[in-house]
């Protein structure tokens, strides 16, 4: 992307980043850009309350203005969406390096890339590289899910370098602090971990406060039990102590804490289905009802909220998830993992889940958590991160198109124009992954003249339908001219 045909531009006082793609026909296209590093230092902007608190009081923050420029909307519209809780702007006051962005059904669909090491593999450097790589290809947020050694340092490096909001699941670090034994967890350990992460600049936190003691037995007859790490940790704690979840019981205190930093809740779906067989079951929806209840509590503290969703869901059961989430959770942003529409393709779960992700985003999900080809099999490497991001950019963009977003349609139109006019370089430059598109074309036709040729190796010169189509057009124009000359009354 360092090519002269691309440039990163910064718009207005707030220096909102965009990627400008200059085409060979003299026009240019501006695309949303997440690649960083940021030119803004939000610490100078000053935000006394949460974005939700400000929006409710009628105040348009700099963050809202920034989002408005990025999304091509009015600042007032952004404010209204945030005030209604339909959108969130995850922006911890201690993460000034991040470029404000909005997550909400009336904005461009966003995608999240999970990074972070496990005890088995990876280093701090690798994880920071994955973050940079993910945002280069278009990740709108990253979650640091590290569970191995150096959780604090890994997170520090990621946050300080990240131009996008960073999310975490604080229970992972809390569990490390108590030696990996869920029953040894306590509210105090958890609270201290949360404070540590809020201080550090985490923008949103996944909290599995909906996994209540009474719901644990609902998972007993499931085919694949509890597949969320946080969910299984909390279920183990509830069962070991035979007590209500400390996250649920201390939820008000958490709200007060998050409000001080404007950290956004991502209320976790600890009981999401881990197989097609378990989709939309009672355990899942019981938890969702509780998340709806907690949403109201958080909103009372002016804390921003989004709700996490499944998981593994067959296509015909996807829409129900969105409809129920809207109804139960006051239409706050839905943030889903996939869903995977079948279980039978480990190694290709970016695709099984990309199908579900595109559909659920069209139905109204605001942010999609990517799934990489390594899902269920191992920790993703750099290439897997890229594949996951590109697949999810496709899903998100397909949903934007289906929702009628004008900017989304303009992008497709620009690429299709380039394709039909055999402006190969423009076609590559406008694609989600110019490197791959160019490399695939080079594989059979590497020579420079092929980049303006009126065919490619797929059909060959005699069978290029687009070339023939141009000839048909020329033929039609000629007939039309002939018709005019002859003064005839009908054409064809």
Binding residues for [4Fe-4S] cluster, by number, are 456, 459, 464
- Known binding residues are 114, 143, 172, 208, 228-230, 269-272, 308, 312, 335, 376, 456, 459, 464
The token duo for 244 is: 């209500």
* SS3 at position 37: coil
Minimum gap (Å) between residue 65 Cβ and its own copies = 28
Annotated binding-site residues for substrate read: 114, 143, 172, 208, 228-230, 269-272, 308, 335
Structure token pair of residue 86: 């339909």
3-state secondary structure of 144: strand
Instruction: Round to whole Å and give the CA distance between 363 and 124.
Output: 37
- x-or-dash pattern for ligand SF4, window 454-473, by CB under 6 A? -xx-xx----xxxx------
CB 395 within 8 A of CB 403: no
Nearer to its own copies, 160 or 454 (CB): 454
Tell me phi and psi for residue 17, to 5 degrees. Answer: -80, 140
Give the Cα-Cα-Cα angle 159, 103, 262 (nearest 5 degrees).
55
Name which of its own copies, ligand SF4, none residue 282 binds, using a CB cut-off of 5 to 8 Å depending on partner kind: none
- Reported in sequence order, the residue ranges of 324-436 that DSSP labels E, i.e. its strands, are 334-337, 367-369
Among 9, 123, 479, 484, binds its own copies (CB under 8 A): 479
To its own copies, the closest distance from the beta carbon of 345 in angstroms equals 5
487 binds, among its own copies, ligand SF4, none (CB under 5 to 8 A by kind): none
Q: Closest separation between CB of residue 73 and its own copies, Å?
A: 21
**Are the CB atoms for 261 and 94 separated by under 8 Å?**
yes
Q: How many whole angstroms separate alpha carbon 358 and alpha carbon 51?
A: 28
Residues 350-409 that bind ligand SF4 (CB under 6 A): 376
State whether residue 244 is helix, strand or coil.
Answer: coil
* Residue 143 interaction partner, one of its own copies, ligand SF4, none, beta carbon < 5-8 Å per kind: none
Residue 180 is a binding residue for its own copies (CB under 8 A):
yes
According to CB under 8 A, which residues from 329 to 388 bind its own copies? 341-348, 350-352, 354-355, 358-359, 362, 373-379, 381
Residue ranges in 189-228 that form contacts with its own copies under rule CB under 8 A: 213-214, 216-217, 219-220, 223-228
Strands 6-11 and 334-337: unpaired
Which burial class, exposed, middle or buried, applies to 478 when counting CB atoms under 10 A from its CB (0-12, 13-18, 19+)? exposed
**Of 137, 59, 140, which Cα lies nearest the Cα of 107?**
140
| Binding of its own copies by 441 (CB under 8 A) | yes
Q: Which does 279 bind (CB under 5 to 8 A by kind): its own copies, ligand SF4, none?
A: none
Of the residues 15, 129, 468, 483, which one makes contact with its own copies according to CB under 8 A: 468
466 interacts with its own copies by CB under 8 A = yes
Q: Which of residues 413-432 bind ligand SF4 (CB under 6 A)?
A: none
Q: Assess 296 for contact with ligand SF4 (CB under 6 A).
A: no
DSSP 274-313: SSGGGTT-HHHHHHHHHHHHHHHHHHHTT--EEEEE-SB-
Nearest approach, Cβ of residue 252 and its own copies (Å): 24
- In the complex, least distance from residue 269 CB atom to ligand SF4, rounded to whole angstroms: 15
126 near its own copies (CB under 8 A) = no
Annotated binding site for Zn(2+): 312, 376
**SS3 for 245?**
coil
Q: Find tokens 């963050």 and name the residue.
A: 63
With contacts defined by CB under 8 A, name the span among 100-108, 199-207, 232-240, 323-331 that binds its own copies: 232-240
CA nearest to 171, candidates 204, 199, 145, 142: 145
Residue 369: its H or E element: strand 367-369
User: Which residues in this chain contact ligand SF4 in the complex, by CB under 6 A?
Assistant: 376, 455-456, 458-459, 464-467
């Amino acid at each position: 992307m360092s090519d002269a045909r691309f440039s990163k531009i910064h718009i207005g006082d707030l220096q909102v980043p965009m990627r400008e793609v200059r085409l060979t026909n003299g026009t240019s296209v501006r695309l949303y850009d997440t690649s960083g590093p940021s030119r803004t230092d939000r610490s100078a902007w000053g935000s006394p309350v949460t974005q939700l608190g400000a929006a409710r009081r009628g105040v348009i923050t700099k963050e809202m203005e920034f989002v408005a420029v990025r999304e091509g909307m009015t600042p007032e519209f952004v404010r209204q969406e945030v005030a209604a809780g339909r959108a969130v702007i995850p922006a911890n006051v201690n993460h000034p390096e991040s470029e404000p962005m909005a997550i909400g059904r009336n904005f461009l669909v966003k995608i999240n890339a999970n990074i972070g090491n496990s005890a088995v593999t990876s280093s701090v450097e690798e994880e920071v590289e994955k973050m940079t790589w993910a945002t280069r290809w278009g990740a709108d947020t990253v979650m640091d899910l590290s569970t191995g050694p150096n959780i604090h340092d890994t997170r520090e490096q990621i946050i300080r370098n990240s131009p996008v909001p960073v999310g975490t699941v604080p229970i992972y670090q809390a569990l490390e602090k108590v030696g990996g034994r869920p029953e040894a967890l306590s509210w105090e350990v958890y609270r201290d971990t949360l404070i540590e992460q809020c201080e550090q600049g985490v923008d949103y936190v996944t909290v599995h406060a909906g996994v209540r003691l009474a719901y644990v037995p609902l998972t007993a007859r499931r085919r694949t039990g509890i597949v969320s790490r946080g969910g299984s940790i909390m279920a183990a704690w509830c069962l070991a102590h035979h007590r209500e979840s400390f996250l649920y019981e201390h939820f008000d205190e958490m709200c007060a804490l998050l409000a001080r930093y404007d950290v956004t809740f991502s209320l976790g779906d600890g009981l999401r289905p881990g197989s097609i067989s378990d989709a939309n079951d009672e355990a899942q929806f019981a938890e969702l009802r509780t998340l709806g209840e907690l949403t109201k509590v958080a909103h009372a503290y002016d804390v921003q909220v989004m709700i996490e969703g499944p998981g593994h869901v067959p296509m015909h059961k996807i829409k129900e998830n969105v409809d129920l989430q809207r109804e139960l959770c006051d239409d706050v942003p839905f943030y889903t993992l996939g869903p995977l529409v079948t279980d039978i393709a480990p190694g290709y779960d970016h695709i099984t889940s990309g199908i579900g992700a595109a559909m659920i985003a069209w139905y109204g999900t605001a942010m999609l958590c990517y799934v990489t080809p390594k899902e269920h099999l191992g920790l993703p490497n750099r290439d897997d991160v890229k594949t996951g991001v590109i697949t999810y950019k496709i899903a998100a963009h397909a949903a934007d198109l289906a929702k009628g977003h004008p900017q989304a349609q303009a992008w497709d139109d620009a690429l299709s124009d380039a394709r039909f006019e055999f402006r190969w370089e423009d076609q590559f430059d406008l694609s989600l992954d110019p490197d791959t598109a160019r490399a695939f074309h080079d594989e059979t036709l590497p020579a420079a003249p092929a980049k303006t040729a009126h065919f490619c190796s797929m059909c060959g010169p005699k069978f290029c339908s687009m070339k023939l189509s141009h000839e048909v057009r020329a033929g039609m124009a000629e007939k039309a001219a002939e018709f005019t000359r002859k003064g005839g009354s009908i054409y064809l």
